[in-house]
Structure 1
Amino acid sequence: MASAASAPPAPSVVVDDHSLSRVPASARYGWFQVAVQRFGQISALSQFLLGATLGFGMGFWQAFWAITLGAVILEIVSVFVGIIGMREGLNTSVIARWTGFGKAGSALVGLAIGLSLIGWFGIQSGVSAAGLVAILPILPAWAWSLVFGLLVTAIVLRGFHSMQWLANVTVPLFLILVGWAVTVELSQHSIAELAAKAPAGPELSFVAGTTLVAGGFIVGAVITPDMTRFNRSVGDVVKQTALGVTLGEYVIGLAGVLLAHAVGSSDITRVITSSVGWVGILVILLGTFKINDWNIYSSSLGVTNFIDVVFGRKVNRGVVTLVLGVVGSVLAAVGFLDAFTPFLIVLGVVFPPIAGIMVAEYFVVKRWRRELSESEGLPATSPTWVPATLVIWAVAALVGYFVAVGIPSINSVVIAFVLYVIAGKAGWVRGVGVSRTEQAPAAVGDGTTSEAPAAAPAPAPAP
């Protein structure tokens, strides 16, 4: 297994991290290191709150099975989308050009990712600021929002290499502090008694509980290629997803369930801080820190692709990260993003169909699979628009939003997959317009020393 030290160093403060090109073999990581990143992405404060919500409205074993089904759903989506990212070495918004969306459609994907995740970045910066005020009231909450947001931004500027270092430090420490906080609170109760205890709040159905689990991380599942492009094999993708998602959902989620049963409340933040004081605030900070770096990282990748497509300019991902980090931190400081939350929830409905379309195109329809897989750099051309995809995307998103039967996020993934396969087999998946691909040079700090390989000549379209 490769260590972080064996990965290529990041020689520049501003690292592009192959934002518009394939990640070369020399920049890939061992599966366990990526699994630590995945676990850190999931084991955040939001996962604690999710577990507490389940425990407040469900019995322990009912919550256990809801977490199990939700985790399996997330792992299936993450693995299939993640394999695409690993094989092609491309992030989500770039790979969308040849997995059903076309170049212009990929700009919409990138914009949706950028808006959604920078919003959550700012909101979680505000959450951490509230915790910092409790520990160190030397600064007001707005000032801590700026400090926290800019600190995370500084780490993400150096790309995956720096984020791996952060995961290696924060994830073990987070687990130790969580273990201590949970042990202190649960030591006053019998685990068997808590597992058999009826929930204190209004009843939550099994379907509703599973929906919370699957929907809570579906955006993270869709953007899995941003992470798995640094994996080395299909087996690595499966192992890091199984370990990262399973531990993240079970360890943190079930701890939240037990705590909710112990105190009869879903306010786990209050419970932890009252049990172990400032250590509880540190738990919250560490959990938020590790997910927030991925929020701004994937946001920067999406916006970089959007700028490339719409304005024809190849900008350094690190520069985009800096701009987004400053904007997100300032918006968090002034409290603007509190009103942004309903919009972010609506955006969350947009994401699941993206995964269904990408998987259907890459593994079943394969309209542009050959061009993507056979090119050394990027394919020389891509479709500009794919009208059938836009219709399918809209229909699946509307179903996910309005149809209450079943699990909405999964309904939209499945519907998008099925409709795209039908459209593909019927010959309706056709590109409108052709866009030439300008190869992205290796930016300073990429960890490479030469330009990305030139694209191979575009093969004839697959029948």
Structure 2
Amino acid sequence: MTPTSPATEPAQTTAHIDRDYPLTRVPRGARKGWFAILVVVAGFIFFTPTMVTGGQVAGAFGFSAFLGLSMLASLILAFYVATLGAASARTGLSTVLMARLALGRVGGKWASLVLGGTQIGWYGITVGIFADLLASALGWEVSWPLAIFGGLLMATTAYWGFKGIEILSWVSVPLMFALCVWITVTSVDEVGGWGEMLGTTGDGSVPVGLALTLMIGTFISGGTQIGNWTRFATSARTAFLVCFGVLIVIETSMLVFGGVGAIAFGEADFTALLFTMGLAIIGVLMLTFNLWTTNDNAAYAFGVAGAELLDKNDKRPFVVGGVVVGIILAASGVADAISGFLITLGTVIPPLGGVIIGTFLFVWKGRDPGTDVTRVGAVIWPGVAGYLLGTAAAAFGAVTGIGSPAVQGVLVAIVATPICHLIARALRPTVDMVEPAAEESEPVSYVPTSTGV
């Protein structure tokens, strides 16, 4: 197979190039500044269900212990998400294209199906939350017309692409952050000040391991797709620092915002808390922007995944198709019924990130392998083996209740993947495998013919 670099990948006609580059590396000229990446990542991480999880956990520990656990969960997530973000920034590839290089063409299709499919499902669930929330505020007995309206509205920025998501994040993040700070101040006053808040004790109803699992699990599946946005970063260092810093600050804040409200008012559901505090109108406005930010990221993700799945260099038809399915799920009420199934699918998603991290750090040695994404083998067995082992570890934790399924799935996949590559090399020592280039600006081909079909 002839070595190729990103610069020599098959030319695309201008008429067929999606400016978000769903099937190719993002060229240097299209990269964004660090602040644009920060704003988009912040909007992605500002996830309302995270606050609900914080509320569910806080009452079991009291504020001081809960704060420590929140910071630990955020730290674990930050390392995972930031490393994936750095890998995509270094290569300029989306999460599903990274999965294609790590698992092969077949494995890449699996990643597109799982990641894209779950995002469509969550899109429907989020649209349903928006519709029910607005219907309650308006006093409507039916919410399906609002589901149709909200589903179409939320798709507009994703259809526009990275720039649309960036603009929406500029609006939604400050508004939601201001609301959360106000609720925190009000909650602290409700219990008599910070001294009283720090002195609260929990009922011990949630074990420490389960608490960490819940808080990490809230965002680890979504965080696996961080590469869809960090591939636009100018460097891996920028992507890592932005993702790590933003996730530590915002993820911890979101958990704490939800936790203090639950401790003060005895209400874990952030949406219900707003109604309890008499903030229905303001709350609906703020949450609408937050849910919109969440869903435009979801729509963008399943658009990119659909483009990879069918090898079409345009995400927009898949954004439209996924939105239609999501609206149908929301309007029919089916979305609520599949939430448990989507959570179950979360067991098989984090190991994908583990394989990508293991491949990037220990096989590619932190560099861009330079592989032409159109010329990848059908199956890269070491990556597939690492993924299956990671998924087995996650499933074991989910079934037995031992450990944290998502975390152990990621860790096993990270360790198993390079080991499987070493075994594959040992079994076929005569096949020359070119190492990644020493300079990021001049990558060479890394076509794993010794482990791919």
Cα separation, 2, equivalents of 1:250 and 1:324: 31
Aligned to 2:402, what secondary structure does the other structure show?
A: coil
**Mapping 1:14-93, distance limit 5 Å:** 17-93=20-96
2:297 is aligned with 1:300: no
Q: Which residue of 1 aligns with 2:318?
A: 320
- The residue identity in structure 1 corresponding to 2:409 is S
User: Aligned pairs, how many?
Assistant: 418
Cα separation, 1, equivalents of 2:60 and 2:292: 28
TM-score (norm 2): 0.86
Q: Which residue of 1 aligns with 2:379?
A: 385
Find 1:349's aligned residue among 334, 347, 350: 347
Indicate if the aligned counterparts of 1:29 and 1:230 stay in contact, CA closer than 8 A: yes
Aligned to 2:319, what secondary structure does the other structure show?
A: helix
Cα separation, 1, equivalents of 2:197 and 2:58: 10
Find 2:255's aligned residue among 244, 253, 256: 253
C-alpha displacement of 1:152 = 0.9
Cα separation, 1, equivalents of 2:364 and 2:241: 26
Query: Can you list the C-alpha shifts for 1:363-417, whole angstroms capped at 9, x where unaligned?
Result: 21239x98x6346xx3562111123433432232122122232222111111112
Query: Can you list the C-alpha shifts for 1:247-280, whole angstroms capped at 9, x where unaligned?
Result: 2212221121111111223233222222123212
Q: Which residue of 2 aligns with 1:411?
A: 408
Aligned to 1:384, what secondary structure does the other structure show?
A: coil
Query: Can you list the C-alpha shifts for 1:289-338, whole angstroms capped at 9, x where unaligned?
Result: 21111111111111211112xxxxx2520111011112211221111111
C-alpha displacement of 1:181 = 3.4
Cα-Cα RMSD: 2.7
Q: 1:429 to 1:248 in 2, by over 3 A?
A: farther
**Mapping 1:132-143, distance limit 5 Å:** 132-137=134-139, 140-143=142-145
Cα separation, 2, equivalents of 1:207 and 1:427: 36
- The residue identity in structure 1 corresponding to 2:119 is L
Indicate if the aligned counterparts of 2:59 and 2:263 stay in contact, CA closer than 8 A: yes
Q: Which residue of 2 aligns with 1:171?
A: 173
- The residue identity in structure 1 corresponding to 2:297 is W
Cα separation, 1, equivalents of 2:59 and 2:446: 57
- The residue identity in structure 2 corresponding to 1:390 is V
Query: Can you list the C-alpha shifts for 1:8-28, whole angstroms capped at 9, x where unaligned?
Result: xxx99x955111111122222
Aligned to 1:19, what secondary structure does the other structure show?
A: coil
Q: Which residue of 2 aligns with 1:359?
A: 357
Indicate if the aligned counterparts of 2:387 and 2:417 stay in contact, CA closer than 8 A: no
C-alpha displacement of 1:430 = 9.2
Indicate if the aligned counterparts of 2:21 and 2:313 stay in contact, CA closer than 8 A: no
Aligned to 1:401, what secondary structure does the other structure show?
A: helix
**Mapping 1:94-113, distance limit 5 Å:** 94-99=97-102, 101-113=103-115
2:240 is aligned with 1:238: yes
C-alpha displacement of 1:362 = 2.0
Taking every aligned residue pair, what percent have the same amino acid on both sides? 25
Q: Which residue of 2 aligns with 1:439?
A: none
Q: 1:461 to 1:328 in 2, by over 3 A?
A: closer
Q: 1:182 to 1:277 in 2, by over 3 A?
A: farther
Q: Which residue of 1 aligns with 2:418?
A: 421
- The residue identity in structure 2 corresponding to 1:397 is T
Cα separation, 2, equivalents of 1:84 and 1:430: 28
Cα separation, 2, equivalents of 1:178 and 1:416: 36
Q: 1:457 to 1:414 in 2, by over 3 A?
A: closer
Indicate if the aligned counterparts of 1:31 and 1:231 stay in contact, CA closer than 8 A: yes
Cα separation, 1, equivalents of 2:122 and 2:274: 23
C-alpha displacement of 1:203 = 2.0
Indicate if the aligned counterparts of 2:100 and 2:373 stay in contact, CA closer than 8 A: no
C-alpha displacement of 1:197 = 1.1
Q: Which residue of 2 aligns with 1:180?
A: 182
Unaligned runs of 5+ in 2: 1-13, 429-442
Indicate if the aligned counterparts of 1:102 and 1:386 stay in contact, CA closer than 8 A: yes
2:391 is aligned with 1:397: yes
C-alpha displacement of 1:195 = 2.0
